[in-house]
Amino acid sequence: MIGVWAAMVMQGAAVLVGLVLTLRGTDSASRAVAGDLVFFAVVGLLVTMAIVVSSAVILDAAMLAALLGILATIALARIITRGRR
């Protein structure tokens, strides 16, 4: 159980680092990457919390959020690159 709490602490640290990087980003691409870091670290926190409380509902919500997060990342990449490949 200590490993689960250690994972939650590390994911919380990743959220804090991501928030700092989002605020201090030099361009929109670096801010987008930092925003993705924050989002997926929070999804990881949800998954870890689902393990701790044995909740299938939280796990389902985290999987749905991860799927939508991937789609949002792709859309944001297309916006930043203005559709160039």
- pLDDT tens-place string over residues 20-48: 998 998 888 888 888 889 999 999 999 99
- Report the chain's mean pLDDT, rounded to a whole number: 89
Q: Is 65 a member of any domain? A: yes
Q: Is 85 a member of any domain? A: no
DSSP letter for each residue of 14-26? HHHHHHHHHHH-S
Q: Is 76 a member of any domain? A: yes
Q: Is 43 a member of any domain? A: yes
Contact 73, 33 (CB under 8 A): no
The range of the structural domain enclosing residue 9 comes to 2-80
Q: 83: phi > 0 → left, psi -120 to 50 → alpha, else beta; which?
A: left
pTM: predicted TM-score of the whole model, two decimal places? 0.83
Domains in the chain, number: 1
In angstroms, the first-to-last Cα distance of the chain is: 45
